[in-house]
């Protein structure tokens, strides 16, 4: 089950001073629990007995792990290798700090690619800048509401596109249905305000459903949101391109290339970081709000001049009868205007302090704007008498009717196209964070915990872009073809979130909990109606894809969790007297030695007496795999030391404390990697060590998890393979793997 937030307060308003869950780079390096620390202490005592007769004077190491920088600068054979040492600087006793240059690859091609990436995305940000990357309300509003507000450009049209199937007379139902949708918007929006108050650490529907209804319901909500965010990108880009081709029909053949280009721009913009993306994409949302308000004011002024009499729509022949099913289908289609209403509850940690309070204020602004724009546009469409057409959007028709001359029609269309194209930015904010929470709970690959160069969750952003581009390409960029897939996932998340809040209030009670539970119950019931209607009526139109995909995603997440559970059991620390599960013994002969052929240095270790060793053990976490690698390295005899890379100082201090509890049996060297790179700084450090003493054989001992199925490899980072590829050009460097077999 997902972890319960520390900010929860028995249904009361959380204290502003209460800590919230921070999306920290240290999430990749979870600490040990109290039970594990106790076992670690016991294991360390056994190490003390085993190493009693061995020399433990760390000063006897043949070189200084701090790279000997300040006492005896080395004389390099190549300038580049002197630069390796300059990539690190002394930070504290026993600790180095990796500079920005240490994150660059060693080979020239990799360095050129890295420079191009930095030219496009900007220089990397240090981990300490994570708080500075948060958004204030005026930036968060357009960033998180772009999806919600942009949906008014196609939500009313989706409603009318169903009603018009029953003929012109059925269009009169658009106003009462719009009123019902406005009620649903207010109820769900108010319910999510309560969610932000009860769960001030983000994760929205996934966390609420997991905490109150159970892990399976939480995964179902997460699966619905995942599909929603992917389709948000596809639908928003498709609608934006449609707005452009409505104004410029000659560009219609280029719908797909323009759509893929828009996704590429969104990808690059969001990889630049939260704050930069917010600054880039905030202005179009405000322009759209102003443009639509201007359209409403001008349109209602014209309608007022004729006494608010609705113009007759053009006659449309009915293709099916006006039945309850048609009405429910229209209601479910119009409800797509609510997609994105949950965005704030998922992104509370990106707000500046006080996070929950700023999030609730922003959510109130969002829902208020949604109600005004949706209700106003629906009423103006009714008064104008336009009907859905295949070659032009409704908002384009209303703008043409309202602004017959002047530049205002072009401004309206440009603003609509921009907000629709950039509406996908809401998904780029929430999708990677949802994957972060899933990965934190071991339901998604742990690489989604990693923050990229710009403190954005780059892996999640890339996955979202690629998946959305594939869907957009498969459906040819047609908005109406994509919308049937849209409602099921998002309203499943809405329904489970609201039902979870009912259970939350019943469990925690508190002041006025009956009214809160009743409000969430009403929201859950209304959302369930939309969910069932959309799933049944749009099943044949494409909703079957979503209905099938949700259980498959839940099954996949469960399989991933099962694998990680098996891994945790296999690697968990156990008292020496307690036999562990069948995780396999280290096959030490399976280690490999990569040696360069040729090169500047001569490899002359042709007999045992010619070999002088230095053993280095990279350690990320003190689990069973790490202790086996340390034990194997120590069995080779001195000189041996360990190195730990940390993304920030707090994590380094925590690891050193765990090392002390273990017994401090080997020297530990800590490197702070503030730009969160792991492999590149480790390679640069090992290269610098090799440069200091090229006459020694540098043996790097790393644990290697042997997984059951090939697809499990996608859930882990193969550090040993990356080190082999990076260091294969250095003579006298050995990479030894200590395999640890997971349960079969």
Q: Which of 531, 564, 597 is the last residue of a domain?
A: 564
Domain range for 98: 25-125+582-741
Do 97 and 198 lie in a common domain? no
Cα dihedral 497, 498, 502, 505, rounded to 10, equals: 70
Is the distance from CB of 352 to CB of 207 less than 8 angstroms?
no
Boundary residue ending a domain (502, 533, 564): 564
CA distance 543 to 556: 20
What DSSP string describes 123-147? SPPPGGGTTTT-B-HHHHHHHHHHH
The more confident residue out of 600 and 423 is 423
pLDDT given for residue 603 in this prediction: 47
Q: What is the pLDDT of residue 84?
A: 61
Structure confidence at residue 539 as a pLDDT band (50, 70, 90): confident
Separation CA 382–CA 62 (nearest Å): 84
Distance between start and end Cα atoms, the chain? 24
- 41 and 236 Cβ atoms separated by less than 8 Å: no
Would you place residue 464 in the very low, low, confident or very high pLDDT band (cuts 50, 70, 90)?
Answer: very high
Most confident of 80-89, 358-367, 467-476: 358-367
Tokens of 483: 């919308």
Pairing relation of β-strands 88-92 and 95-98?
antiparallel
Higher-pLDDT residue of 256 and 576 is 256
Per-residue model confidence (pLDDT) at position 599: 39
Question: At 296, is the pLDDT very low, low, confident or very high (cuts 50, 70, 90)?
Answer: very high
Handedness of CA 495, 499, 504, 510 (dihedral sign): positive
The larger pLDDT score, comparing residue 88 to residue 633, is at 633
554 pLDDT tier (thresholds 50, 70, 90): very high
CATH number for 421:
1.20.1740.10
Q: What is the pLDDT of residue 30?
A: 78
Q: How remote is the C-alpha of 440 from its chain's centroid?
A: 11
pLDDT-derived band at 22, boundaries 50, 70, 90: low
Looking at residue 4, its pLDDT comes to 40
Instruction: Convert the pLDDT of each residue in 689-726 to its tens digit.
Output: 888 888 888 889 988 887 777 777 777 777 777 777 77
* Six token digits for residue 377: 């546009």
Would 702 be classed as within a structural domain?
yes
- H or E element in which residue 89 lies: strand 88-92
The reply to whether 100 and 200 lie within a common domain is no
Task: Answer whether residue 13 is part of any domain.
Answer: no
Mean pLDDT, residues 133-160 taken together: 83
- Least confident span in 15-19, 102-106, 551-555: 15-19
Residues in a beta bridge with 704: 739
Judge whether 284 and 360 are in contact, CB under 8 Å. Answer: no
Q: How far is CA 609 from CA 54, 604, 612, 736, in A?
A: 21, 11, 8, 20
* Domain-ending residue, one of 564, 596, 627: 564
- The residues, ordered by sequence, that sit 6+ positions from 512 with a Cβ below 8 Å of its Cβ are none
What global pTM score does this model have?
0.74
Shared-domain flag, residues 473 and 500: yes
pLDDT at 336: 80
Asked if residue 15 is part of any domain, the answer here is no
Residue-wise pLDDT tens digits, 219-235: 999 999 898 888 888 88
The answer to whether residue 1 sits within a structural domain is: no
Same domain (yes/no): 658, 546: no
Residue 72 has a pLDDT of 53
Q: Which residue intervals of 72-169 are DSSP H helices?
A: 79-86, 108-121, 137-150, 155-163
And the tokens for 731?
């003579």
pLDDT above 90 coverage of the chain, percent: 12
Considering the domain architecture, whether residues 61 and 173 belong to the same structural domain is answered as no
Would you give the DSSP letter of residue 609? G
Q: Say whether both 592 and 717 belong to one domain.
A: yes
Measured CA to CA, the distance from residue 567 to residue 744 in angstroms comes to 11
Confidence of residue 466 (pLDDT cuts 50, 70, 90): very high
Q: Determine phi and psi for 430, rounding to 5 degrees.
A: -95, -35
Helical H segments across 458-605, by residue range: 458-474, 479-482, 486-508, 513-537, 544-571
Domains identified in the chain, total number = 2
Nearest alpha-carbon partner for 550 in 534, 567, 526, 529: 534
**Cα distance between residue 352 and residue 81, in whole Å:** 43
109 vs 285: which has the higher pLDDT: 285
Q: Mean pLDDT score of the chain, rounded to an integer?
A: 79
Residues in the chain: 744
Instruction: Please indicate, yes or no, whether residues 412 and 553 belong to a single structural domain of this protein.
Output: yes
Q: The sheet that has 640-646: what strands, in order across it?
A: 88-92, 95-98, 667-672, 640-646, 613-618, 697-706, 733-741
Residues 226-264: tens digit of each pLDDT: 988 888 888 888 877 877 887 778 888 888 888 899 899
């Amino acid at each position: 089950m997902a972890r319960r937030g520390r900010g929860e307060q028995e249904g009361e308003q959380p204290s502003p001073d209460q800590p919230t869950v921070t999306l920290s780079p240290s999430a990749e390096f979870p600490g040990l629990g109290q039970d594990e620390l106790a076992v670690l202490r016991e294991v360390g005592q056994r190490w003390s007995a085993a190493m009693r007769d061995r020399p433990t004077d760390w000063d006897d190491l043949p070189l200084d792990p701090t790279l000997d920088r300040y006492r005896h600068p080395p004389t390099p054979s190549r300038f580049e290798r002197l630069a390796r040492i300059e990539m690190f600087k002394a930070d504290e006793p026993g600790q180095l700090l990796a500079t920005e240059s240490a994150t660059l690859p060693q080979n020239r091609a990799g360095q050129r690619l890295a420079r191009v990436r930095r030219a496009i995305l900007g220089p990397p940000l240090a981990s300490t800048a994570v708080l500075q990357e948060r958004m204030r309300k005026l930036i968060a509003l357009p960033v998180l509401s772009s999806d919600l507000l942009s949906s008014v450009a196609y939500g009313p049209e989706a409603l009318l596109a169903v009603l018009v199937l029953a003929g012109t007379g059925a269009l009169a139902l658009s106003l009462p249905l719009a009123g019902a949708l406005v009620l649903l918007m207010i109820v769900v929006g108010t319910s999510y305000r309560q969610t932000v108050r009860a769960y001030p650490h983000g994760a929205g529907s996934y966390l609420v459903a997991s905490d109150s209804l159970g892990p399976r319901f939480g995964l179902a909500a997460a699966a619905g949101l995942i599909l929603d965010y992917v389709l948000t990108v596809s639908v928003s880009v498709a609608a934006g391109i449609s707005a452009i081709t409505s104004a410029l029909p000659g560009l219609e053949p280029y719908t797909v290339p323009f759509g893929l280009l828009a996704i590429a721009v969104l990808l690059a913009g969001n990889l630049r970081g939260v704050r930069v993306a917010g600054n880039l994409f905030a202005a179009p949302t405000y322009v759209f709000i102003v443009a639509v308000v201007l359209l409403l004011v001008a349109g209602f002024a014209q309608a007022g001049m004729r006494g608010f009499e609705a113009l007759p729509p053009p006659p449309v022949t009915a293709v099916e009868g006006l039945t309850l099913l048609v009405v429910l289908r229209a209601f479910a289609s119009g409800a797509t205007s609510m997609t994105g209403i949950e965005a704030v509850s998922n992104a509370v940690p990106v707000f500046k302090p006080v996070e929950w309070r700023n999030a609730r204020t922003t959510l109130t602004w969002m829902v208020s704007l949604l109600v005004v724009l949706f209700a106003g546009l629906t009423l103006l469409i009714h008064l104008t008498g336009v009907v859905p057409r295949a070659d032009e959007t409704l908002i384009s028709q209303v703008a043409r009717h309202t602004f017959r001359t002047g530049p205002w029609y072009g401004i309206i269309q440009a603003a609509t196209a921009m907000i629709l194209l950039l509406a996908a930015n809401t998904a780029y904010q929430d999708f990677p964070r949802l994957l972060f929470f899933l990965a934190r709970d071991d339901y998604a690959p742990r690489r989604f915990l990693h923050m990229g160069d710009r403190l954005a969750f780059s892996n999640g952003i890339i996955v979202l872009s690629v998946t959305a581009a594939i869907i957009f390409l498969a459906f040819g960029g047609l908005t109406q073809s994509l919308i049937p897939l849209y409602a099921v996932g998002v309203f499943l998340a809405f329904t489970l979130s609201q039902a979870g809040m009912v259970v939350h209030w019943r469990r925690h009670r508190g002041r006025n909990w009956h009214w809160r539970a009743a409000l969430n119950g009403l929201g859950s019931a209304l959302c369930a109606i939309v969910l069932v209607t959309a799933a049944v009526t749009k099943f044949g139109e494409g909703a079957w894809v979503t209905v099938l995909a949700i259980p498959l995603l839940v099954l996949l997440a469960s399989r991933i969790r099962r694998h990680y559970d098996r891994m945790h059991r296999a690697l968990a620390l156990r008292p020496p007297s307690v036999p562990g599960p069948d995780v396999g013994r280290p096959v030490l002969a399976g280690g490999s030695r990569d040696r360069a052929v040729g090169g500047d240095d001569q490899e002359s270790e042709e007999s045992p007496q010619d070999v002088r060793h230095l053993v280095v053990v990279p350690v990320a976490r003190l689990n069973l795999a790490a202790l086996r690698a340390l034990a194997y390295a120590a069995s080779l005899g001195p000189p041996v030391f360990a190195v730990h890379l940390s993304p920030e100082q707090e994590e380094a201090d925590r690891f050193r404390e765990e090392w002390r509890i273990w017994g401090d049996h080997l020297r530990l060297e800590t490197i702070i990697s503030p730009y969160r790179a792991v492999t590149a700084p480790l390679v640069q450090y090992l290269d610098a060590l090799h440069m200091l003493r090229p006459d020694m054989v540098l043996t790097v001992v790393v644990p290697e998890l042997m997984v059951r199925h090939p697809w499990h490899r996608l859930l882990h980072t193969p550090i040993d393979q990356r080190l082999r590829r990076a260091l294969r050009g250095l003579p006298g460097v050995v990479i030894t793997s200590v395999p640890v077999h997971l349960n079969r």
